Structure 1
Amino acid sequence: MLFKPTILPWALALGTAQVASAPTNKVPPRYSGEAQKLADPRYGPIPGQSDLYSYYWGTDRPFPGNISDPVFPTQDGPPGVDDLIWQNLLSAEWLIFEFYQQGIEAFTARDFVAAGMPNTTYRRLMEIRNNEAGHLRIFQNQISPTSIKPGRCKYSFPFTEPLGYLALMTVLEISSMAFLTGLVQQPRLNFNKGAMLAIAEVETRHEAWALVDIWKANPFGGPSDTIFPYADEILDSTNAFIVPGSCPPENPEFPHARQRLPALSAGQDTVSLTPGSNITLHFPDPRNQPFFNESVQYYAVFYHGISSISVPIETLFWPRQAICVTIPSKFETKGVIIALVADRRGAPTKESVIAGPAVILEQPSRLATSVLHGKAG
């Protein structure tokens, strides 16, 4: 059932809610202070102990997605060793949760059936939304009481009909999987590494459902999912969905520290994005274009599975002449390929990355080119 701050139907099962005793003078006056109750991990339905995060079938935002303000520190002292990573992850989770919530509000079960989808599609999306609400609460609870827990921004997603929504959902989920393979390398505490791996396994189930039921594709991605070392670069690309100026001003920079790299995609003339295909590199944001030093050799670096392959590119005549490259034919047509542009072979550090990353779906491969051309698949 839905949690609302003033009505506590779950209290019969959990007992009286415990409210964190945050000093009111630490909460800016523009906020009601309601979110401060979330500082206590015992407050509200607990992930893994409540059916809310699996079996809520309403359209209103489930707890804690219905409380949008940031949660301010309740203790003085240094931040937890992994707080910054959890803050990045919570900010990203707000975006993913909101994507599912907006889809549930925008469409009905009949809309998906009319678009040719199984009659279970809408309920499955609700269940994923519920899982994402549980992720919100898990991430809030992992941030120490000496650090702020970021609040919700406003988000704008480019979908207008059910198939376009499901196509974007597939891109976001498979991007999340690749992002988490890099993120799990960052925590200093082993428990936090394990917790992030547990979340990644759930995201894999979400993606496998979409591949099987929606796209009628083989869900097996080969012997290894793709490892991408610079998780925050994938996070940064999601800023395109955030309405400028809509985040609580107290939220930490997202992601921290943000590189603001030029976006990267294949050109509109792309016919295929499978291994062995020839593509042109496109930098879609006219306000953020890469700079190429004529004395430097640059590379398109492609990641797939546990491997990466660097392909030298000619940048001397760009932008008068497009930059062309071939996706390595050695890669299997499975899972996802991630591409970026670097000034060193193999992109050995995040500072060597000068544009990207771009996430290239291989399953189903037709969806990758459809999304590129603004179609649903």
Structure 2
Amino acid sequence: MKTTLFSLALAFLGVTANPTRRAIDDDTVLNFALTLEYLEADFYAGALKKFNAQAFAAAGFPAWVHGRFVEIGQHESAHVEFLQKALGSKATQKCSYSFPYTDPKSFAALSQVLEGVGVSAYAGAAQFIKNPDYLTAAASILPTEARHASWIAAAVNSFSPWSGPFDAPLGLSSVYHLAAGFIVPGSCPSTNPSFPVKAFPSLLFDKAVPGSTSAITYDKSASNSDQVYVAYFTGLQTLFEKVTNGHVLVPSSLSGQVYAVVTTNSKAATDADIVAGPAVLVFERDSKGNLIKA
């Protein structure tokens, strides 16, 4: 059941948009963060309105789980208010969102993935922040998001609370690709600022298991190269594997939440190289590093 819930959550990620590219400044980074915080705040508000404490109990969760999710939702709303105040009249506005949860268990599974993406988003965007006050604020939000992700993974979903000694930072385009799957097309106000991101086609793995090969599916017309590779973002490492006849090796060392993209370069995975993805892959291991098959 756990594998099924995560598959449903991950399969929804990957719808792209067509934003306009422009320079990255502090306002751009803060508005990018605000876009993600709007999404997360709406995610919790909608689910907790639909599923009360009794629904969580009926799904088999301890009584305290619902209350903690309420707290997380309050944190996300506080992040929204903080960023709105920092940006003032430059603040982007909310869009409408759609999430594929159907019950408290699928909500919890998707929550774990979203919080992990949020951690990777803040880690990846930090390099662009020039104002030290903004950097400090982002550094304050980041560990809170990480605490959310760890609590949901370990206490709620019985997963490892971390992916390893480092989290994987993600670029703006990769984060936007993942977030756009939950934004209702055409729902964002036309006055919202554009983001300097590139839209990528989706990437799907047939069956990703560390140490084995998997078939992958993506729009091959997006690449002008006969040879492509899959780059796996895991912690501060990027591992590259050659794609052969539509199949690729899933490295045996992968653990926790990993991101994968198709790239034309065997040594780089920048926006100029990526042709599809990222896909989100989740691999659970025990404290001795053994892969757990749910």
TM-score, normalised with respect to structure 2: 0.83
> Does the aligned pair in 2 maintain the 1:215–1:364 contact within 8 Å?
no
Give the aligned partner of residue 289 of structure 2: none
From the superposition, tell whether residues 307 and 207 of structure 1 become closer, same or farther in structure 2 (CA, over 3 Å). Answer: same
Retained in 2: the 8 A contact 1:98–1:155? yes
Q: Amino acid of the residue matched to residue 28 of structure 2?
A: L
User: 1:302, 1:338 within 8 Å by CA — same for their partners in 2?
Assistant: yes
Residues 80, 172 of structure 1: CA spacing in aligned structure 2 closer, same or farther, 3 A cutoff? Answer: closer
Paired amino acid for 2:197: R
Paired AA for residue 257 in structure 2:
V
Contact 1:290 1:354 (8 Å CA) reproduced: no
Indicate if the aligned counterparts of 2:24 and 2:196 stay in contact, CA closer than 8 A.
no
What is the distance in 1 between the residues matched to 2:77 and 2:133?
21
Q: CA deviation at 1:80?
A: 10
Question: 1:344: how far off?
Answer: 1.1
Give, as a single letter, the amino acid of the residue that structure 2 aligns with 1:264.
Answer: L
Matching residue of 2:159:
217
Deviation at 1:195, TM superposition (A): 1.9
Counterpart residue number, 2:16? none
Post-superposition offset of 1:172: 0.6
Quick check: 1:327 aligned with 2:266?
Answer: no
1:293 to 224, 241, 249: 224
| Relative contact order higher in (CA < 8 Å, ≥ 6 apart) | 2
* Amino acid of the structure 2 residue aligned with 1:237: L
Determine the structure 2 residue equivalent to 1:234.
175
* CA offset digits 1:186-240 (Å, max 9, x no partner): 2122332232222110011111111222122332432212233x13322222112
Partner of 1:191: 133
Tell me, which stretches of 5 or more residues in structure 2 are unaligned?
Answer: 1-22, 287-291
1:328 CA drift (Å): 1.4
Does 2:56 align with 1:133? Answer: no
SS in 2 for 1:241: coil
The answer (yes or no) to whether the contact 1:301–1:308 under 8 Å persists in 2 is: yes
- Higher percent of residues as helix: 2
Structure 1 residue runs of 5 or longer lacking an equivalent are 1-78, 315-320, 371-376
1:275 aligns with 2:214: no
Is 1:211–1:364's contact at 8 Å kept on the other side of the alignment? Answer: no
1:140-289 alignment, distance < 5 Å: 140-143=84-87, 145=88, 148-228=90-170, 230-253=171-194, 256-267=195-206, 270=207, 273-283=208-218
Distance 1:290 1:95, change over 3 A: farther
CA contact (8 A) 1:103 1:165 kept: yes
Name which of 17, 24, 39 aligns with 1:95: 39
Give 3-state SS (helix, strand or coil) of 2:181's partner.
helix
SS in 1 for 2:85: helix
Paired letter, 1:233: S
Q: Which amino acid aligns with 1:313?
A: V
Q: State, as a whole percentage, how many aligned pairs show the same letter.
A: 29
Q: Say how many residue pairs are matched.
A: 267
Aligned with 1:218: secondary structure?
coil
> In structure 2, the residue corresponding to 1:128 is in which secondary structure?
helix
- Runs of 4+ residues deviating >6 angstroms: none
Structure 2 residue 262 is matched with structure 1 residue 341: yes
- Distance, in Å, in 1 between the alignment partners of 2:185 and 2:250 is 34
- 1:351 to partner: Cα distance: 1.2
Match of 2:20 in 1: none
Per the alignment, do residues 303 and 133 of structure 1 end up closer, same or farther by CA in structure 2, a change over 3 Å counting? same
Please say if residues 180 and 196 of structure 1, whose CA atoms lie closer than 8 Å, have aligned partners that are also in contact.
yes
Greater gyration radius: 1
* Equivalent in 310, 321, 324 of residue 240 of structure 2: 310
Which AA in structure 2 matches 1:291?
A
Q: Give the equivalent residue in structure 1 for 2:18.
A: none
| Aligned partner (choices 114, 125, 129) of residue 58 of structure 2 | 114
How many angstroms does 1:111 deviate by? 0.6
In structure 2, relative to structure 1, the CA distance for the partners of 1:220 and 1:238 (3 Å cut) is closer
Counterpart AA for 1:312: K
* 1:264/1:340 contact within 8 Å kept: yes
Distance 1:243 1:219, change over 3 A: same
- 1: distance between equivalents of 2:161 and 2:172? 23
Check whether the contact 2:232–2:238 (CA below 8 A) recurs between aligned residues.
yes
Contact 1:140 1:149 (C-alpha < 8 Å) held by counterparts: yes
Question: Residue 176 of structure 1: CA displacement?
Answer: 1.3
Letter in 2 for 1:115: A
TM-aligned CA deviation for residue 261 of structure 1:
0.5
Q: 1:332 to 1:158 in 2, by over 3 A?
A: closer
TM-score relative to the length of structure 1: 0.66
